[in-house]
Structure 1
Amino acid sequence: MEPRIVSTLCVLLVLCACARESYAAMTMAQVKQAMGMLRKSCQGKNDVTTEMVEGLQQGNFPDEKGLKCYTKCIMGMMQSLKKGRYVPDAAIAQAKMMLPDDIKGRVIASMDNCRNSGDGIEDLCEMAYAVTKCVYTSDPEAFFFP
Structure 2
Amino acid sequence: MGCGFHSIVSEMKFHLLLICVAISLGPLPGLEAGVTEEQMWSAGNLMRDVCLPKYPKVSKEIADNIRNGNIPNSKDSNCYINCILEMMQSIKKGKFQLEPTLKQVDIMLPDSYKDEYRKGIHLCRDSTVGLKNAPNCDPAHALLSCLKNNIKVFVFP
Under a length normalisation based on structure 1, what TM-score does the superposition of the two structures give? Answer: 0.86
Q: CA offsets, 1:65-120, max 9 Å, x none? A: 21100111111122222243111221111011121111111112111110000100
1:14 & 1:92 partners in 2: Cα distance?
21
For residue 17 of structure 1, report the CA deviation from its aligned partner. Answer: 8.3
C-alpha RMSD of matched pairs (Å): 2.3
Structure 2, unaligned runs of 5 or more:
1-9
- The yes-or-no answer on 1:136 pairing with 2:148 is yes
Q: Which residue of 2 aligns with 1:45?
A: 54
1:8–1:120: structure 2 CA closer, same or farther, 3 Å change rule? same
1:138–1:23: structure 2 CA closer, same or farther, 3 Å change rule? closer
Q: Which residue of 2 aligns with 1:105?
A: 115
2:45 to 18, 36, 59: 36
- The yes-or-no answer on 1:145 pairing with 2:130 is no
1:85–1:126: structure 2 CA closer, same or farther, 3 Å change rule? same
Structure 1, unaligned runs of 5 or more:
none
Amino-acid identity (%): 30
For residue 2 of structure 1, report the CA deviation from its aligned partner. Answer: 2.5
Task: Please tell me whether the aligned partners of residues 92 and 108 of structure 1 are also in contact (alpha carbons under 8 angstroms).
Answer: yes
2:129 & 2:22 partners in 1: Cα distance?
29
Under a length normalisation based on structure 2, what TM-score does the superposition of the two structures give? Answer: 0.80
Q: Residue 2 of structure 1 aligns to a residue in which SS?
A: helix
Which protein has the larger Cα radius of gyration, Structure 1 or Structure 2? 2
Amino acid at match of 1:31: M
For residue 122 of structure 1, report the CA deviation from its aligned partner. Answer: 0.8
Q: Residue 29 of structure 2 aligns to a residue in which SS?
A: helix
